[in-house]
Structure 1
Amino acid sequence: MEIQRGTWTHRALVVATGVAIALVLLWMSGLAPFRVNQLTNVFIYAIAITGLNLATGYTGLLSIGHSAFFGLGAYTTGVLVMKYGWDPLYTVGPALVLCFVVGFVIGLPALRIRGLYLALVTLAVGVAFPELVRRFEDLTGGARGLVIRRRLLNPPEWTGLRPGQRDVWMFWLSVVVLVIVVLLVHNLVRSRAGLAMIATRDNEIAAAASGIRVAAVKTSVFGLSGAVTGLAGCLFAMYLAALSPDGSFTLLKSIEFITGLVIGGAATRIGPIIGAFAVVYIPYFTANLNPSNVSQGQLSGVLFGLALILIIFLMPDGLVGGISRLVGRVATLRPPPAAPAAVSSRGEAT
């Protein structure tokens, strides 16, 4: 079955999909607080992986240090709230600017190096971030961590939610931010800038020969990628209310982001969301399958490895790519027909 983009059938499917997603989200928000918090964690991870997807998936800049951006955004929110009395939502702006600038600077080596060598540079950034947090103990709390008072993270009055409904507030805040981020990335990828990103990823020499400013693309995308992942860090600080350099901002977090991106599907819009579900729920469900002589971390690592191996061999484009191919056997989406060229009074096409 073929469906043409822009037809009533296509629009009806889009509306039906949107309504179904809204109903599922409403149902999710009414679950037990533990389940709601799990889903909030999924959406925050999805935002962070979306940021990584901009650099690695769409532009080909392999990064193993995005945990640093995640932590930088989280600590920016934590410090501004606890040390300077900022409203948590107002900390998002400074965190975005700071993470963009740091990402832009870290992206400068991408002008000279690429591939594995660039990955090593980002690896050094990821390793250095926890050490910097410990060094500036007066500001960040050092190894002891930084705890944000719960009363400072209560839902705003305009939401109509009670202080005890912080889990519902964080759920919907994460959903709204994720939707905005996905829509912005969708529009970016379809724009001229998005085409320049993809061209840079596929062939830098050909992109430069076509007039694309490869240096500007690399540095700006790396900055934007860091800002999006830092935004996820802001939400994580509001959600967890306790920050520790050894807990959530080590290289293990970067590996989780990369794993989620590979499982969901790089250079796809919804791949980061599917990957975030995998990153959060695989360790949770494997806890009940845990033999007494195997630690939960070991079993989760084994299952992550098996999942990656299976996906690489069976679905190289991730779960989204595999599902798209299966759906393509049943229905295909065609672009709208090209508009006929206008004809002048002389009979010439214009």
Structure 2
Amino acid sequence: MTPIHVRTGSAAHRGLQIAGLAAAAGALLLGATMEAFRVGQLTNVMIFAIAISGLNLATGYTGLLSIGHSAFFGLGAYTTGVMVVTYGAAPMTTIPLAVLLCAVLGFVVGLPALRIRGLYLALVTLAVGVAFPEVVRRFEDLTGGAAGLVIRSRQLAPPEWTGLTVPQRGIWLYWVSAAALLITLVLVRNLTRSRLGIAMIATRDNEIAAAASGVRLATVKTTVFGLSGAVTGLAGSLFAMYVGALSPDGSFTLLKSIELITGLFLGGAATLFGPVVGAFAVVYLPYFTADLASGHVSGVIFGAVLIAIVFLMPEGIAGVAGRFLGRFIRIAPHENQGERP
């Protein structure tokens, strides 16, 4: 079957974009009508998708393997938790500070990437991920230490202008997470199509050739790590509002980093919607395997499913879906796209 070629910017292309947006809006509206537990699951999926999108910038698009993104996730969460509990800040107002602090941490973590790469860089990020829970325990007066930090429901109440009450904070966070995910996807799309995005991909594919072509590797690596940390920190801030209870041994250990990496490669690295698909897989697959068996057998089945997906779909679920859709519709660049004045 000969695929239909659609040029970017054409009426047909805009029609496909509008149809996609309408389908996404319909899915979100449908999700908002579900029972509270299901709404909470979908909120968790969107938060995970944002976090994986941050990891995707560094690992997927730039080739900087990071095993320590749980530290960015945790820093964003604890920034919101401390600001709300200790200083009485409104939850939404803590997001900019969480994003800023995680961007700074990402920039600092990215500095070793100027000298090392590959597995050696992964070990550096691994050290950051391991150190974060210990730092949280050390500052017990601020973070609650090993006992954790609890954010009361009334402190997470929706803003008064929404007309929502404390028991309705789940639906409020659902829409906030949806808006944050949409903004994140748009920013990632625009970034990867910009000059910096081209430099990121060139750095991933061949650093020597990229440097010879004029790419400033130091600037690209540190900038990307900063942006990656900021996006993952945004997810951490939303996660603190979602769970309302933070513990260094709960959601911010290396297991969280492994979940993020698993979601990235299951969904599809260096793809726009791969993090969304990967988030669905990471959140829902354990539920499905638990229905098939219980105890350790459930974990074995979950591992087997992961191995099967990676073996059969090395480019990720989103990559396979994109290749399948490419048999029917192919988006071709505009004739003048890429021309320089």
TM-score over 0.5 (shorter chain): yes
> Which residue of structure 2 aligns with residue 273 of structure 1?
276
Partner of residue 298, structure 2 = 299
Deviation at 1:204, TM superposition (A): 0.7
Residue 54 of structure 2 corresponds to residue 38 of structure 1: no
User: Of residues 311, 320, 323 in structure 2, which corresponds to 1:322?
Assistant: 320
Question: Residue 84 of structure 1 aligns to a residue in which SS?
Answer: coil
Instruction: Give ranges in structure 1 of 5+ residues lacking alignment.
Output: 342-349
Q: Could you say which structure has the larger radius of gyration?
A: 1
Aligned residue in 2 for 1:52: 55
Aligned Cα root-mean-square deviation (Å): 1.4
* 3-state SS, counterpart of residue 266 of structure 1: coil
Deviates more, 1:303-312 or 1:176-185: 303-312
Question: Aligned equivalents of 2:111 and 2:228: distance in 1?
Answer: 14
Aligned length: 336
1:313 maps to 311
CA offset at residue 7 of structure 1?
1.9
Following superposition, the deviation at residue 325 of structure 1 comes to 1.2
DSSP-derived class of the 1:31 partner: coil
For the 8 Å contact 2:106–2:227, the answer to whether it is kept is yes
Residue type at the aligned position of 2:334 = P
How far the C-alpha of 1:77 sits from its partner, in A, is 0.4
User: Normalized against structure 1, the TM-score is what?
Assistant: 0.93
Q: Do structure 1's residue 260 and structure 2's residue 263 form an aligned pair?
A: yes
Identity percentage over the alignment? 66
Matched, 1:109 2:107: no
For residues 67-78 of structure 1, the aligned pairs below 5 Å read 67-78=70-81
2:160 alignment partner AA: E
Cα distance per residue 1:22-49 (max 9 Å; x no partner): 1111110010000000000000000000
Shift of 1:303: 3.9
Q: Does the CA contact (< 8 Å) of 1:143 and 1:244 recur in 2?
A: yes
Q: What is the CA distance between 1:20 and its match in structure 2?
A: 1.4
- Residue aligned with 2:42, SS: helix
Structure 2 match to 1:171? 174
- Give the counterpart letter for 1:187 in structure 2: N
Aligned residue identity for 1:45: F
Of 157-166 and 318-327, deviating more is: 157-166
Task: Answer with 99-108 or 329-338: which moved more.
Answer: 329-338
- Given that 2:289 and 2:302 are in contact with CA atoms closer than 8 Å, whether structure 1 keeps it comes out as no
Q: Which amino acid aligns with 1:92?
A: I
1:212 pairs with one of 210, 215, 240: 215
Q: How many Å apart are 1:315 and its aligned residue?
A: 2.0
In the alignment, structure 1 residue 139 sits paired with structure 2 residue 142: yes
For 1:172, the aligned partner's letter is W
Match for residue 333 of structure 2?
335
| Paired position in structure 1 for 2:103 | 100
Equivalent runs, 1:188-227 vs 2, <5 Å: 188-227=191-230
For 2:239, the equivalent position in structure 1 comes to 236
Distance in 1, matches of 2:266 and 2:332, equals 27
- CA distance in 2 between counterparts of 1:94 and 1:167 reads 23
Task: Say which of 284, 289, 298 aligns to 1:286.
Answer: 289
Question: Which of these residues, 227, 246, 249, is aligned with residue 246 of structure 1?
Answer: 249
Counterparts of 1:158 and 1:32, CA distance in 2: 24
Distance 1:304 1:196, change over 3 A: farther
Which residue in the other structure is 2:160 paired with?
A: 157
Write the distance in 1 (CA, Å) between the matches of 2:212 and 2:22.
Answer: 45
Preserved CA contact (<8 Å) 2:268 2:278: yes
Q: CA deviation at 1:156?
A: 0.5
Matched letter for residue 125 of structure 1: V
Please say if 1:62 is aligned against 2:65: yes
- Of 2, 6, 10, the match for 2:9: 6
Are 1:264 and 1:271, in contact at CA under 8 Å, matched by a contact in 2? yes
TM-fit CA distance, 1:304? 4.4
- SS of residue in 2 equivalent to 1:120: helix
In structure 2, how many angstroms separate the alpha carbons of the residues matched to 1:179 and 1:28?
Answer: 15
Pairing partner for 2:125 from 108, 122, 137: 122
Residues 275-309 of structure 1: CA deviation (Å, up to 9, x unaligned)? 00000001112222224xx33xx623x34433443
SS at match of 1:2: strand
Q: Counterparts of 2:174 and 2:164 in 1: how far apart (Å)? A: 12
C-alpha displacement of 1:163: 2.1
Structure 2 unpaired stretches of 5+: none
Q: Distance in 2 between matches of 1:256 and 1:303?
A: 16
* Alpha-carbon distance in structure 1 between the residues aligned to 2:49 and 2:172: 18
Cα distance in 1, alignment partners of residues 304 and 290 from structure 2: 16
Cα shift readout 1:162-197 (whole Å, capped 9, x = no counterpart) = 222101000000000000011001000000010011
